[in-house]
Amino acid sequence: MSQTITAAHSAAIDSLHVAYLAALDKGDMVAWAATFSLAPEASYFCISTENDRRGLPLALMYDDCRGRIDDRVSFVTKVWVGTYQPYRTRHFIQRLSCEAAGNNRYRVTSGFTIMMSAEGGTTAVLTSGEYRDLIEIQGDHAVFCERRAVYDADVLPRYIVFPF
Amino acid sequence: MSSQCSDNYTGKAPAVWPAKVNQIPKEVFGDEALFEEELKKIFYGDCWHVVGHFAEIPNAGDFKTFDLGRVPLLISRGKDNQVRVFFNSCTHRGNQLEVATSGNRKEFECPYHRWLFSLEGALTACPGSKEFAPDFKQENFGLMEVKSAQFMGIIFVTMGKNTPPLTEWLGEIVPPTLSTLLGGDGRLKLLGYQKVRYDSNWKGYNDNDGYHAPMLHTAFRLLNWQGGTTGFQRMTKNGHVVFEAELKAIQNNGFVNDPSLVEFKGSDPAKGSRIVQFFPATVMVKHLDIINLRFAMARSHDVTEVHYAYFAHEDDDEAMIQHRIRQSSNLLGPCGMISMEDAAIFQRIHIGNQTPGFAEFQKGVTSLSEIPMDVKQNDETGNLPRWEHYRKVMGFKREGEK
């Protein structure tokens, strides 16, 4: 881990991770979107390891601007209501690396696991993977300028409603 | 309330189907033993199956693996640029030859006894062969090739002995729409995959993918996005469905922050939506600027795996490629704004079909005894010729039929 990060910045990054997974584990899409920068170029990608490794650009979720991040909130909260089979998730993450990128920004990677519990069903692994983030410290808190969730499963076990 | 069963429910498909052509016995979706029969009569039978597209393996040495039912396939582009489909099995003791889902090789080596196969399938080395059986001849032990054919780069295979030629199997209705769907000539460039398993019978998947009533999709209403009325559905007697529809440009009413998700930038605005639904499983879609081939694998009676492969056209400029990537990723597929809802139906309908009675087709039914071949854009009867083909292939009799 880089020596240049301050304890305050490290704590802010940890808090951001917690806010992100807490939002998704509550199914709170507005809180999920709130973990991203308000800058127009804020981005979220969710892509398979296979596509990522082969340099294939197609993703499962390709939100390359702030507008698309907000549109994803609408998909879940307005478009898809009443159609999908509900499931709850638990995200577990561990930070793997953190490098200063200048201007109060950090390149951070973390491993993640997502457990899913289908309504009326058992708990199973949805997938695991790696978050590759560009995080910016804004005052006393941190936001994602970019989050790239590269998931491990070559084949996902179900259709997907919530971001990873 | 309706009561449709007098006997105890068994979950087994009935040997005799109802006389009414718009009723499908729901048991065909959940009967485990029936799946074994389907493997034999359909997936390993006299039928062509889509397993890939040339654009997935554009260079010599490129390969992908795929399964037809439980049969593992190795699809390889040789040094001669020919695409061949082999059983993914060493011809010695049957070991799975290639374990990767895709890649590029100079040759294929079985690690068990180091048998080596060329990209074209010839056995080129087999250490210790002097001590092999007296009748061993190296040239007889090349990889076993599966009969294949192609249409604009789509790779079809069949294991049947009496499968008709591909052109005959496609018929006259499929090729024109399919050509346009493939960008006019099939010269495609792979953008990537979304791969997912559905808890759904393959027939339930195929029956509900492709075209269906737009009522499911709240997004159409929220976007005030109306389909045109000049489209058509056409069916072949061997179970394919072809669909074309006009897609009117949406008036952005502010529902989406990024309207490029539903913008049409291609050269075919009159017919924005084209679907080819092959018998038995695979569906292909061109919607707006998305070119999406959905390679489906029947894993069991209640699991269907779908590899959504997305493509650009080789002649696209960078802006068009980028547009296709952005649109393809977020609109169709197992997390797409529109198609996530389809995926939910595949699984919900599979659960609901584990009950007595019939899947009832209603909209567009004009006769209870004749299979409809003249179907309007929004009718659900387009599926019935496929069901009739399925019934005949599987040997189910109709009530009153001798």
Taking alpha carbons only, the member of A21, A160, A30 closest to residue A94 is A21
| Angstrom distance (rounded) from CA B52 to CA A140 | 52
pLDDT value of residue B254 = 84
Fold of B172-393: Naphthalene 1,2-dioxygenase Alpha Subunit; Chain A, domain 1 (3.90.380)
Q: What is the CATH number assigned to the segment(s) B49-150? A: 2.102.10.10
Coil, strand, or helix at residue B3? coil
Class of the CATH domain delimited by A7-151? alpha beta
The answer to whether the CB of B242 falls within 8 A of the CB of B276 is yes
* Cα-to-chain-centroid distance, residue B176: 18
Q: Do B257 and A71 touch (CB under 8 A)?
A: yes
Tokens standing for B380? 């659900």
The residues spanned by each domain of chain B are: 49-150, 172-393
Our separate counts of H helices and E strands in chain B read 8, 21
pLDDT value of residue A3 = 55
Coil, strand, or helix at residue B293? strand
Taking alpha carbons only, the member of B100, B96, B66 closest to residue B83 is B66
Interface test with A, best of B104, B195, B293 (most A CBs within 10 A): B195
* Cα-to-chain-centroid distance, residue B310: 14
Taking alpha carbons only, the member of B372, B366, B388, B370 closest to residue B238 is B388
Q: Do B255 and A74 touch (CB under 8 A)?
A: yes
* Cα-to-chain-centroid distance, residue A62: 12
| Angstrom distance (rounded) from CA B130 to CA B126 | 10
Q: Do B340 and A74 touch (CB under 8 A)?
A: no
Coil, strand, or helix at residue A12? helix
| Angstrom distance (rounded) from CA B116 to CA B127 | 9
Phi-psi region of B366 (alpha: psi -120 to 50; beta: other; left: phi over 0): alpha
| Angstrom distance (rounded) from CA B83 to CA B76 | 6
pLDDT value of residue B268 = 65
Q: Is B216 touching A (CB cutoff 8 A)?
A: yes
Q: A105: exposed, middle or buried (C-beta count within 10 Å: 0-12, 13-18, 19+)?
A: middle
| Angstrom distance (rounded) from CA A121 to CA A137 | 40
Chain A residue numbers with beta carbons less than 8 Å from the beta carbon of B194 are 48, 58, 60, 156
Chain B residue numbers with beta carbons less than 8 Å from the beta carbon of A155 are 195-197, 305
The answer to whether the CB of B391 falls within 8 A of the CB of B17 is yes
The residues spanned by each domain of chain A are: 7-151
Taking alpha carbons only, the member of A13, A30, A31 closest to residue A22 is A31
* Cα-to-chain-centroid distance, residue A137: 17
- Sheet containing B273-277, strands listed edge to edge, beginning at the edge strand earlier in sequence: B188-198, B303-313, B290-300, B283-287, B273-277, B241-245, B232-235
Q: Do B329 and A80 touch (CB under 8 A)?
A: no
Query: Which residue type, as a one-letter code, is found at position B286?
Result: K
Q: Residue B258: how many CB atoms within 10 A of its CB?
A: 19
Q: Do A57 and B192 touch (CB under 8 A)?
A: yes
pLDDT value of residue A1 = 47
| Angstrom distance (rounded) from CA A83 to CA B344 | 7
Q: Do A57 and B191 touch (CB under 8 A)?
A: yes
Using DSSP bridges, classify how beta strands B188-198 and B303-313 pair: parallel, antiparallel or unpaired. antiparallel
- Give chain A's contact residues with B (Cβ, < 8 Å): 46-48, 50-51, 54, 56-68, 70-71, 74-75, 78-81, 83-85, 154-161
DSSP β-bridge partners for residue B68: B71
| Angstrom distance (rounded) from CA B339 to CA A158 | 13
Q: Tell me the pLDDT of chain B (402 aa) as tens digits.
A: 665 556 799 999 999 999 999 999 999 999 999 999 999 999 999 999 999 999 999 999 999 999 999 999 999 999 999 999 999 999 999 999 999 999 999 999 999 999 999 999 999 999 999 999 999 999 999 999 999 999 999 999 999 999 999 999 999 999 999 999 999 999 999 999 999 999 999 999 999 997 777 788 888 888 877 666 778 899 999 999 999 988 777 777 788 999 999 888 887 656 688 999 999 999 999 999 999 999 999 999 999 999 999 999 999 999 999 999 999 999 999 999 999 999 999 999 999 999 999 999 999 999 999 998 989 888 899 999 999 999 999 999 999 887
pLDDT value of residue B272 = 82
Q: Is the confidence metric ipTM above 0.90 for this complex?
A: yes
Q: Do A159 and B198 touch (CB under 8 A)?
A: yes
pLDDT in tens, B112-154: 999 999 999 999 999 999 999 999 999 999 999 999 999 999 9
pLDDT in tens, B239-254: 999 999 887 777 777 8
Question: DSSP of B59-124, one letter per residue?
Answer: STTEEEEEEETTEEEEEEE-TTS-EEEEESB-TTT--B---SSEEE-SSEE-TTT--EE-TTS-EE
The answer to whether the CB of B135 falls within 8 A of the CB of B21 is no
The answer to whether the CB of B356 falls within 8 A of the CB of B7 is no
- Closest residue in chain A to residue B307, using alpha carbons only: A155
The answer to whether the CB of B288 falls within 8 A of the CB of B247 is yes
For residue B160, what are the contacts with CB-CB under 8 A and spacing of at least 6?
A: B44, B45, B46, B47
Q: Do B335 and A62 touch (CB under 8 A)?
A: no
pLDDT value of residue B3 = 56
Coil, strand, or helix at residue B298? strand
Query: Which residue type, as a one-letter code, is found at position A17?
Result: H
User: What 3 state SS string does A50-77 have?
Assistant: HHHHHCCCCCCEEECCHHHHHHHHHHHH
B18 φ, ψ (degrees, to nearest 5): -65, 155
pLDDT value of residue B377 = 84
**10-residue averages of pLDDT along chain A (164 residues):** 79 98 98 98 98 98 98 96 96 97 97 97 98 97 98 98 98
pLDDT value of residue A6 = 94
How many residues comprise chain B? Answer: 402
